[in-house]
Amino acid sequence: MEEGLTEEPVAKTRISGRIDGPLLCGQLCRAHVRAMLGIAAAILAVCICSARAQADSGPATIGELKQLNVEDLMNVEVTSVARHPEKLLHAASAIQVITQEDIRRSGATSIPEALRLADNLEVAQKNSHDWDISARGFNTALANKLLVMIDGRTVYSPLFSGVFWDVQDYLLEDIDRIEVISGPGGALWGANAVNGVINIITKSAKDTQGLYADAGGGSQPKDFTGVRYGGEIGSGTQFRIYGKYFDRGDEVLANGSPESDAWHQGQGGFRIDSQASAQDRLTLQGDMYDGREDVQTGGITDTSGANVLGRWTRTLSDDSNLSLQSYIDQTHRSIPETPLMLDGLAFTPAGTFYDDLITYDVDFQHQFQLDPRDRVVWGLGFRRTEDAVINAPSVGFLPAVLDQSLYSAFVQDEFTLHKDLSFTLGTKLEHNAFTGFEYEPDARLSWSLSSNQALWAAVSRAVRTPSLIDRDLSEGTPPYLALLEGSSNFTSETLLAYELGYRAQLGSKFTTSVSTFYNQYNDVRSTSFTPATIVPLYFANNLEGDTYGTEFSGNYQVSNDWSLHAGYTLLRENLRVKPGGYDLNDALNETADPKHQFSLRSSLNLLGRAEFDAALRWVDTLLTNNGATPGTVPSYFELNTRLAWHASDRLEISVVGQNLLHPYHVEYGFPDPTRVEIQRSVYGKLAWRY
Amino acid sequence: MAVLRRALQALLCGTLVMMLCLRTACGAEAPTEYQVKAVFVYNFSHFVEWPPQAFAAADAPFVIGILGGDPFGAHLDEAVHGEQIGQHPLLVRRFHSIDEIGDCQILYIDRAASAQLPQILAAQAHRGTLTVSDFDGAAEHGVMIQFATENNRIRLRINVEAARAAGLTISSKLLRPADIVGTRTKD
C-alpha cells in the first residue's frame, strides 16, 4: 500500500510520460489469448474426473457400510454432515470454503497466503508485507471491489475501499474457515461487495480449549511463534486468549539484490463464548496488533490497531433467530512518503503520512419462516467512521478530518417455488455521506437437480461507493501544488452482474463447481484533466465496460489417504472510455489481471502419521498499465510443498517450501528496477496441542 | 455487438461444461451422515459387553432405543434388520418421553431431548444402558459415546468412566480410534 498511495493514482509515472511528450503506446497491443483453449481444458478435466468418480464410487448402502471395520467407517466421508457442505451444494452463489484443515495443510503463514487456496481469487504478493487480492479482475494496487470481514467485522479501509492485508491477521490454527464468494453480494452485505466477499470465521472458544503452541522459522518467515490457551469460565462459558509474533526478512529486486522490506508484527487477542441460556449465545472478542515494515524508499511504516466486538444471538424457534452485533475498531498507520518527482525534479519534499481511523458499527439481523415455503431475513445497520489524517507534502486528504455515517437496511426472501426450485429476492438500501441512497437488489434461482447436484442463476446490482481517495485525495498537499486530486463529482461505480453456476457431488469421491459470469460496469474510475490547466488531474467516472469469465474447481478423493484438487479461472475484461469521456490511461489502469489461472493440489497421508501436500499454481501474464508505458508481469508457475510428521498425538513437525520453482519471481508491479520479486523460501515448524 | 457475442460465448462455454457434468452425474451417492451413524450404532452392539443382568431373559430382545426426534429415518431399522446378538434379536424402539423408556441396551438421545440430559442419565444410571448422542459436549456431560464430525467424517468421543460406572466394557477396537474424554465436573 505504500506504493499504492503514491504510485498507482497515475500521477508520478504517468504524468512524466505526458509531460515528456506524447503518451507512449496508447494503443496497447492486446493479443487475444485463446479463451476456447482454456475452456476446453476445463471440460476435459471435468470429463476425466467424472469418469473416475463413476468408476469407483464409495459405499452407499447400509449393507455395504456394515462390511467396514470401525476405522474405515470413521474414514467414510459423509455428505450433509456439517452445515457447510450441504449449504455449499445448494448455495446459489460462487462460494468456495477454505477449511482449517486446508489452511493447516497448505503451510500458509498468513491470511493472504491462505487465500491462494480459493480458486476464485487473484492473489499477488507485491513484497514482503503487501498483497493485492481481488476476484473477477480489477486487481490493482488500489483494488477496491472486494468486501472482507473477520467474524462479521468489516476490514476494508474507507481510505481507498480496499484492504490493508498486512494487518489482517489471526492465529491461523484458530480460524474455522474462510468463505470466499466471487460475484456480487451487495444485497446482503452492502456497498463494496461488488466483485466478491471474503468472510474469515474464527472458531468458537468452545472449540479451542486447551493449550496450543507453535514456533518455527527459516528463510521466510525468519521466525514465528504463536500460543493460545482456552479454558472454561463457568458452566457453558468458554474463553481463549492468544498471542503471535513473526519476523519476515527482505525480499529481492529483479537483479537479485536485497530489497528493504523486512517486517515484524505481533498480535494478541481473546474470545469468550457463552451459552447464556438455551436460546441465547453471547460472544465477546477482541484483538490488538502492532507492526513495523521497512519500505523500499527508506523509513518505516508503523501499523497498530485494536478492536472489540460483541454479538448476541437468540434462537426464537427452530427456524427463527435474531442477532445483534456491535464493534469498535481502531487502526493507525504511518507511512513514509517519498518526494513527488517530475523529470528528476523534486516537486514536493519527503514526509510522513499518518492515518487514524475509528469505526463504530451496530448490526441487527432477524430471520424467520414466514410460512413453510417462505424464509425471510432482514436487518438494519449503522456505521460511523471517524478518519483523521496528517498529510505528507506529497500525498494527503482534504479535509484532514472526516466523520461519516452509513445507514443500511436489507431484506431478503427465499421462497420455495417447488420442492426442488427456490427463488431468492433481496435488496440492500444504504445511505452514505458521499452519494446518498444506494440500492443493491439481487435475484437468485436455485434448482436442485437431485440430492447431489444443483444449478443456480443470479442477476444482481452492486455499487462501489466513493472512497476518500476518489473524493478527497490530494497528491501534493498545500502549500505544494496538487498534481492529482479527488473530485467532489466522483460518484458510485455500478455493476450489473449475470451469473450461472453448477455444483455437484458426483459419487462419493468427486465434487465440483463451475460458475460463469457476465458483468457490466458503469462509472468506473478514470483520470481526467482540464485542458486549460492540465494539473491537477482529477478522478472521474469515465469508464464503462464488461467482463466475463468462468471459474472451475474440482475435488477428487482418490482414496482415504489421498485427495486431489484442481482449479481454473478464465477472465476477459473489456473496459473502455465512455463516449465523450476521457481517461489519461486509456481505460487500462484498473485491470492488471491474468486471463487464465490454474492450480493443482495434492494432499496425501502417509503411514498414518505423516502428511505430504503439494500445490502447483500457474498465473497468466499480467498487464500493468499504471506506468508511462504498459508493462507486463510474466506468467509463472510456482510450487509449494509441505511435509509433516505427527510425532505423537500432541506434536506435529513440519517443513514447508514456498515458491520452490524459482530463486525469485515477480507477481505484481510495473517493470522497473524497483519492482520487488518474491524469493523461494523454506521454513520448519513445531506445533504442540494439549 | 462484439460484447454480446463474447458474453454469449462465455455463457455457452459454461453451459457446455455443466451439461457434461450433468451427463456423467449418475455415480452412486455418498452415504449420508445418519446412514453412517446408524451403522455405528449397530456396531456398538458388537463392541460393547453388557452384563447378563442387563437383559430380562436369555432370549429377550436387544433394544436400541431412540429418545426425542428420530434423525435416522429407516436407516437404523435397516441396519439391525434380521440381526441378533447371541440369543437376543435386535430391535429398534422409539420413545417420546423419559417415562416411556423401558429396558434398552443402547439409548440414542436425540438433540431434541438434550435439555433433559441429567434426568435421562439419572433414569438410566443403573440399567446397564449404553448412552449415545451427537450434540456438542455430550460426552463431557456423561453420555458414553458421542458422535463428532470432523472434515465430513464421523469420529467417536467416548466417556470410558461413564460406561464403566454402568458396568459396560467397551472393546479396544472402538476405543483405539476414538477420542477418550472424561466427565467434566460441574458445579
CA A581 to chain CA mean position, Å: 32
Question: pLDDT value at position A628?
Answer: 53
The gap between the terminal CA atoms of chain A, to the nearest Å, is 39
Question: Is A366 within 8 Å of A379 (Cβ atoms)?
Answer: yes
Strands (E) across A351-452 are located at 351-371, 374-390, 396-397, 401-418, 421-432, 436-450
Give the residue on B whose Cα is nearest the Cα of A43: B17
A346, B63, B145, B182 from B161: Cα distances, Å: 78, 23, 11, 7
Query: Is B25 in Cβ contact with A50 (below 8 Å)?
Result: yes
Residues B162-175, buried b or exposed e (16+ Cβ, 10 A)? bbeebebebeeebb
Q: Which amino acid is at A531?
A: P
* A297 near B CB under 8 A: no
Residue B147 lies in a domain: yes
Question: pLDDT value at position A19?
Answer: 25
Q: What's the rounded Cα separation, in Å, for the pair A611 and B36?
A: 26
Q: How many of the other CB atoms lie within 10 Å of CB of A389?
A: 23
**Residues composing chain A:** 690
Question: pLDDT value at position B151?
Answer: 66
Query: Is B27 in Cβ contact with A79 (below 8 Å)?
Result: no
* A238 near B CB under 8 A: no
Question: pLDDT value at position A78?
Answer: 58
Residue B20 lies in a domain: no
> C-alpha angle with apex A547: A545 to A550, nearest 5 degrees?
175
Helices (H), A365-467: none
Q: How many of the other CB atoms lie within 10 Å of CB of B153?
A: 16
Which of chain A's residues have a Cβ under 8 Å away from the Cβ of B26? 54
Q: Classify the complex by whether its ipTM is higher than 0.90, answering yes or no.
A: no
Question: Is A80 within 8 Å of A90 (Cβ atoms)?
Answer: no
Which of chain A's residues have a Cβ under 8 Å away from the Cβ of B35? 62, 65, 78
Q: Quick one: which of A222, A241, A182 has its CA closest to A501? A: A182
* A278 near B CB under 8 A: yes
Q: What is the least distance, in Å, from the CA of A67 to any CA of chain B?
A: 10
Q: Quick one: which of A22, A10, A259 has its CA closest to A140? A: A10
Give the residue on A whose Cα is nearest the Cα of B177: A71
Query: Is B187 in Cβ contact with A62 (below 8 Å)?
Result: no
**What nine digits make up the cell of B166?**
454402568
Q: Provide the number of structural domains found in chain B.
A: 1
Torsion of CA A99, A105, A108, A109, to 10 degrees: 100
Q: What's the rounded Cα separation, in Å, for the pair B98 and A220?
A: 60
Residues B21-49, buried b or exposed e (16+ Cβ, 10 A)? bbebbebbbbbbbbbbbbbbbbbbbeebe
Q: What's the rounded Cα separation, in Å, for the pair A682 and A448?
A: 45
Q: What's the rounded Cα separation, in Å, for the pair A665 and A633?
A: 10
Question: pLDDT value at position A626?
Answer: 59
Which of chain B's residues have a Cβ under 8 Å away from the Cβ of A77? 30, 151-153
Read off the DSSP letter of residue A162: B
Interface test with B, best of A506, A512, A522, A569 (most B CBs within 10 A): A506
Q: Quick one: which of A525, A430, A432, A433 has its CA closest to A470? A: A525
Q: What's the rounded Cα separation, in Å, for the pair A140 and A178?
A: 23
Q: Quick one: which of A223, A205, A203 has its CA closest to A215? A: A223
A595: which strand partners?
Answer: none
Q: What is the least distance, in Å, from the CA of B84 to any CA of chain A?
A: 14
* A500 near B CB under 8 A: yes
Give me the residues of B, 119-158, that contact A with CB < 8 A.
136-137, 149, 151-156
Single pTM value for the model: 0.74
| CATH number for the domain harbouring residue B87 | 3.40.50.2300
Nearest to A518 among B7, B79, B115 (CB): B7
CA gyration radius, chain A: 25
Cis peptide before A536 (omega within 30 of 0): yes
Beta carbon pairs, A and B, within 8 Å: 182
Give the residue on A whose Cα is nearest the Cα of B76: A62
**What nine digits make up the cell of B155?**
469420529
Interface test with A, best of B9, B20, B29 (most A CBs within 10 A): B29
Confidence band (pLDDT; 50, 70, 90) for B27? very low
Strands A537-559 and A484-485: parallel
* A33 near B CB under 8 A: no
Tell me the average pLDDT of chain B.
79
CA B43 to chain CA mean position, Å: 10
Give the residue on A whose Cα is nearest the Cα of B112: A318
Give me the residues of B, 85-114, that contact A with CB < 8 A.
none
What is the three-class DSSP state of A100? helix
Q: Which amino acid is at B70?
A: D
What is the three-class DSSP state of A79? strand
A40, A519, A597 from A556: Cα distances, Å: 19, 31, 19
Query: Is B36 in Cβ contact with A82 (below 8 Å)?
Result: no
Expressed as residue numbers, the domain containing B98 is: 33-181
Query: Is A46 in Cβ contact with B21 (below 8 Å)?
Result: yes
Q: At what angle do helices B2-24 and A35-55 cross, to 10 degrees?
A: 10
Strands (E) across A560-672 are located at 562-577, 596-606, 610-619, 622-624, 631-633, 636-646, 651-658, 664-665
Question: pLDDT value at position B22?
Answer: 37
Question: Is A541 within 8 Å of A15 (Cβ atoms)?
Answer: no
Query: Is A101 in Cβ contact with B35 (below 8 Å)?
Result: no
Query: Is A80 in Cβ contact with B75 (below 8 Å)?
Result: no
SS3 string of A234-298? ECCEEEEEEEEEEEECCCEECCCCECCCCEEEEEEEEEEEEECCCCEEEEEEEEEEEEEEECCCC
Q: Which helix (H) or strand (E) holds B156?
A: strand B153-159
Q: Quick one: which of A391, A557, A565 has its CA closest to A468? A: A391
Which of chain B's residues have a Cβ under 8 Å away from the Cβ of A275? none
* A508 near B CB under 8 A: yes
Q: CB burial class (10 A; 0-12, 13-18, 19+) of residue A493? A: buried
In terms of pLDDT, which residue wins out, B184 or A187? A187
Nearest to B38 among A62, A206, A574 (CB): A62
Task: Give long-range contacts, CB 8 A cutoff, 24+ apart: A370-373.
Answer: A370/A413, A373/A415, A373/A416
Which of chain A's residues have a Cβ under 8 Å away from the Cβ of B137? 206
CA A68 to chain CA mean position, Å: 42
Question: pLDDT value at position A371?
Answer: 86
Give the residue on A whose Cα is nearest the Cα of B115: A278
Backbone angles phi, psi at A263, to 5 degrees: -155, 135
A31, A288, B68, B98 from B95: Cα distances, Å: 71, 51, 7, 7
Q: What's the rounded Cα separation, in Å, for the pair A236 and B114?
A: 14
Q: Would residue B44 be called left, alpha or beta, if left means φ above 0 and alpha means ψ between -120 and 50 degrees?
A: alpha
Question: Is B178 within 8 Å of B154 (Cβ atoms)?
Answer: no
Fold of A2-689: Maltoporin; Chain A (2.40.170)
Question: Is A209 within 8 Å of A236 (Cβ atoms)?
Answer: no
Question: pLDDT value at position A439?
Answer: 95
**Residues composing chain B:** 187
Cα torsion angle, A134, A139, A145, A151, sign: positive
**pLDDT above 70 (res B18):** no
Q: What's the rounded Cα separation, in Å, for the pair A466 and A427?
A: 20
Question: pLDDT value at position A21?
Answer: 26
Q: Quick one: which of A379, A415, A390, A278 has its CA closest to A333? A: A390
Question: Is A13 within 8 Å of A627 (Cβ atoms)?
Answer: yes
pLDDT digits (tens, 9 = 90+) for A343-392: 777 778 889 999 999 999 999 999 888 888 888 999 999 999 999 999 99
Q: Quick one: which of A422, A498, A420 has its CA closest to A458? A: A498
Which residues of chain A register pLDDT less than 50? Answer: 1-59, 79-86
Q: What's the rounded Cα separation, in Å, for the pair A291 and A303?
A: 5
Give the residue on A whose Cα is nearest the Cα of B78: A62
Q: What's the rounded Cα separation, in Å, for the pair B16 and A26?
A: 37
Q: Which amino acid is at A352?
A: T
CA gyration radius, chain B: 22
